[in-house]
Amino acid sequence: MRNFLTNNREELVSRCKSKVALRPRRAATEHQLANGIPLFLEQLIRTLAAEEDDKPAESVRISGPSGGDSLALSEMGMTATAHGKELLKLGYTVDQVVHDYGDLCQAITDLAFERNAPFAIGEFRTLNRCLDNAIADAVTEFSFQRDTQIARQQSLDATERFGFLVHELRNALGTATLAIHALELGNMTVGGATGSVLKRSLSSMATLISGALAEVRSGAPELRQTFSVALLIKDAETAAQLVASAAGCAFEVSPVDSLLAIRGNRELLLAALANLLQNAFKFTHPHTDIALKAYELGEHVLIEVEDHCGGLPPGIAAKMFAPFNQHSHDRSGLGLGLSIARQSVEADFGTLTVRDVPGTGCVFTISLPRHSLQ
């Protein structure tokens, strides 16, 4: 077998590549096979040579004992481990790790049959031992790396969900604080528009906390409904006027068709719009204006927030919706507002995009499927 493998090494590698290429979503490259079949063949040949020379210790050092060694990897085990790790990085599944070595076994037996090359029983046992150890080590490393990757992603997801809760609670608390301050300065009652902003902010905080508790218990609840775009804009306007006054900016809101409607989670979409407005007030130049409008365009409703931030630096538009990204010297936030807004909009089958107006500012656009209240 040793001579057979040595003389037909390139043919066997070529056959393995052909088998790999036939499998769905799997292309064979030298990079993919660098720690796989070629090295395995070389180590198998040296294992067979060690056994022919009656050097069992050398054979075990190269390819490991029967049943593997949990305390120390053999030379073959180390390269198989690297192969399993590489295949995970390339996006493959655990069955493809096993198939890589199975392809070689089939290629050896097929070619031996074609060339009428008989092998001794002991050589087959060595081949099976090497395949068994290599597959076990490759799969073990693949599974370990995959589990680590999943755990890391779950940790990131949990951090992002916690960040969402903290961010939205802080927004609602900030609006409530502005409302209380306005009520105190104007000596007003809570029965007016400013009082409504306070009540709505407190209600938003209660909803966020209730939703978080519900998700912990049994998963996120379904809260989609069809509602008026005009009333949504009115709610956003009332709260935003307080922020506009504090920021020293003008705030313009265009009239909205009273029959226009959208379907989704109203609280989350209102929070998404509030995030866009707060972002606009944060970055727009002093004494400029922020514009909010909503209108229908074909089968969609567009809600636009336009600011006067002076325009976006090159390359920023593509990155600004990523979580925990902050693009100014003001680090008071978490860098989650735009990311949360986009997630909320996309959860209701919409899109959130930004258009740069060089030298002037930018326009954030929420697009959602259009519904009607009739």
Phi-psi category of residue 184: left, alpha or beta, with phi > 0 → left and psi -120 to 50 → alpha: alpha
The CA distance from 245 to 238, in Å, is 11
Residue 261's pLDDT is: 94
Mean pLDDT over 214-224 rounds to 60
Residue 281 has pLDDT above 70, yes or no: yes
As a whole number of Å, the end-to-end CA separation of the chain is: 81
* pTM reported for the whole predicted model: 0.47
State the chain's mean pLDDT as an integer.
80
pLDDT tens, position by position, 300-314: 999 999 999 998 888
What is the predicted pLDDT for the residue at 353? 93
pLDDT exceeds cutoff 90 at 295: yes
pLDDT of residue 325: 55
Q: Which residue has the higher pLDDT, 292 or 243?
A: 292
Q: Mean pLDDT, to the nearest integer, of 86-107?
A: 75
**pLDDT, greater one: 346 or 77:** 346
pLDDT level of residue 84 (50, 70, 90 thresholds): confident
Task: Report how far residue 10's alpha carbon sits from residue 189's, in angstroms, rounded to the nearest whole number.
Answer: 87
Mean pLDDT (whole number) for 265-275: 88
Over 80: is that where the pLDDT of 45 sits? Answer: yes
- For 148-175, the pLDDT digits (tens) are 776 666 666 666 667 777 777 887 888 8
pLDDT at 303: 97
How would DSSP label each residue in 185-198?
Answer: HHT--TTSHHHHHH
Q: How confident is the model at residue 90 (pLDDT cuts 50, 70, 90)?
A: low
Mean pLDDT of 346-350: 90
- Could you tell me if 359 and 251 are in contact, meaning their C-beta atoms sit under 8 angstroms apart? no
What is residue 333's predicted lDDT score, i.e. its pLDDT? 44
Q: What percent of the chain has pLDDT over 70?
A: 81
Least confident of 26-35, 43-52, 340-349: 26-35
CA-based Rg of the chain, rounded to a whole angstrom? 32
| Beta strand spans in the chain (E) | 224-228, 250-253, 260-265, 289-297, 300-306, 351-357, 361-369, 371-372
d(CA 206, CA 217): 17
Give the DSSP letter of residue 296: E
Written as six digits, the tokens of 206 are 């209660």
For residue 124, which of 146, 138, 109 has the smallest C-alpha distance?
109
Percentage of the chain surpassing pLDDT 90?
A: 20
On the question of pLDDT at 200 being above 90, the answer is: no
Choose between 78 and 72: higher pLDDT.
Answer: 78
Residue with structure tokens 């081949």? 127
pLDDT for position 286: 86
pLDDT over threshold 60, residue 26: no
Phi-psi region of 185 (alpha: psi -120 to 50; beta: other; left: phi over 0): alpha
Which pLDDT does position 308 carry in this prediction?
93
Give residue 28's pLDDT band: very low, low, confident or very high (50, 70, 90): very low
